[in-house]
Amino acid sequence: MPALNAHNTIDTKTISSKILSSIGLDKQPMDYRLTMDQQVRMKDDEGRSRLEQLAEEWVHNYLQGNGISKHSQMSRLIQKVSERATDYTLKNGCHPETLKTELHQACDLISYIRATANAQYVSHSMELAKWIVSVPEGTEPDPKHLAARAELEGRVWRHYDPIRAFEEGLNSSESVAVNADELEEYIKEYITHKWLRSTFLEWVFIDALIYSEIIAFGDAIKLNAPGPSDFLGNKAYFTSKGKLKAILEAELYNKLAWSAGKLFIPPLLACGCFYLASLTNITGLLIAGFIIGAPWLLIVSLKLVRSALSYILSLFGKRPDNIITPFEANVRLWSKMKDVYLLLKGNILNPQLIRDELIKTKTEGAVWKNSIYALIGLIIARNPETWIIEY
């Protein structure tokens, strides 16, 4: 029964109090107003969401428009770039159109780097051709082949095998033409975009530039290798398209031919002169035989002594340096340059060690692009001991 007061009237205040208490509204009203920090944070979150959605749509259209697989190396790199571009736009309070501009410039730069580092896509074309040829007409290709093909088409760069490229020549799947000078121009553009910092792109620059120097030096070695040559260089280099085995075989056959001629022709001529002198009693033939035979015998004797001495010294590891030919010296230097390149294989590298080896090989005659030292310096400034390759 409702509560009554002294005048037998209903106490509405008491009833209201009980009702509010029963539903938990008798306490002080809550303050739903946000602090300034919370408002700014909410505004930033809303802005980030809008920018992330805008970046996601732009990247999707870019990948689809250029036929790039979303699972490829190129796609993963562009996704990371879009995140950095979003952070840059939000941090600097830029207009959303600025995000589109930065993304467009960054993706174009990556595409140019990809094309420059893989000029003519030599290895990619050869690898893709294997799957195209292997699929019979009218049949569905293997999904694994399609995935691998998409990965190749979306590849920015990979670490190649310089030994195979040196041995197999221009047609090797490990031989790629790198436009080093143009790539250096893109390094300048990359450095100017301070927000576009990617350890993967830095690795691409350094790996591709070092690779290009090794390949160029290797081709120069083979082009100037001893053997049958003309004014362009070693003939076997052109006929075999740079195959090391063919070049060495041509040199060997040439040496054998010359050695056989020098070894057998003089004594045969001398013997012929002696024989004719014995038949005709012509003194001039006898003298001619001595003139031909005596120098030949002296030269052969000296070469045999030199070969024996060289062999004996080599057993003790004391082969005279003057016996090392220019070709052998260049191959040794190439091998040291190749060892520097192998330090770039993997995802966790030591930039200080790489720079030390670059400087060491440079003092021995190697030639490296100055931009390599500049990039290595930037990386060392961040962390001299650890360089983790991430997109």
Is the pTM higher than 0.85? The answer reads no
pLDDT of residue 131: 42
CA-based max dimension of the chain = 174
pLDDT of residue 42: 42
Q: How many CB atoms lie within 10 A of CB 214?
A: 22
Alpha carbons 343 and 37: distance in angstroms, whole number: 49
Q: How far is CA 389 from CA 76, 114, 199, 200, 337, in A?
A: 13, 17, 5, 5, 22
**Distance in angstroms between the alpha carbons of the first and the last residue of the chain:** 76
pLDDT tens-digit map of 159-193: 999 999 999 998 888 888 888 898 999 998 888 88
Tell me the H-state helices in the chain: 12-22, 36-65, 73-91, 96-117, 122-134, 143-153, 162-168, 180-192, 199-223, 235-239, 244-280, 283-315, 326-342, 351-363, 370-382
Q: Which of the residues in the chain have pLDDT under 70?
A: 1-45, 47, 118-153, 258-263, 285-286, 289, 293, 296, 311, 317-323
Q: How far is CA 99 from CA 51, 62, 104, 176, 262, in A?
A: 8, 14, 8, 34, 75
pLDDT of residue 167: 93
Q: List, in sequence order, every residue forming a beta bridge with 4; answer none if it has no partner.
A: 10
Handedness of CA 71, 72, 75, 76 (dihedral sign): positive
Alpha carbons 45 and 213: distance in angstroms, whole number: 48
pLDDT of residue 219: 94
69-73 long-range contacts, CB within 8 A, separation 24+: 69/150, 69/151, 69/153, 69/154, 71/147, 71/150, 71/151, 71/154, 72/150, 72/151, 72/153, 72/154, 72/155, 73/151, 73/154, 73/155, 73/156
What's the gap between Cα 25 and its chain centre? 70
Contact 281, 204 (CB under 8 A): no
Give the residue among 196, 301, 354 at the shortest CA–CA distance from 309: 301
pLDDT of residue 282: 72
Alpha carbons 84 and 82: distance in angstroms, whole number: 5
242 is written with which tokens?
Answer: 């740079």
pLDDT of residue 202: 93
Contact 243, 223 (CB under 8 A): no
> If you ran DSSP here, which 8-state letter would residue 347 be given?
S
Contact 209, 185 (CB under 8 A): no
pLDDT of residue 320: 56
pLDDT tens-digit map of 29-62: 444 343 444 444 445 567 678 888 888 888 888 8
Spell out the domain ranges in the chain.
37-156, 229-324
Handedness of CA 312, 317, 321, 326 (dihedral sign): positive
pLDDT of residue 273: 77
pLDDT of residue 148: 58
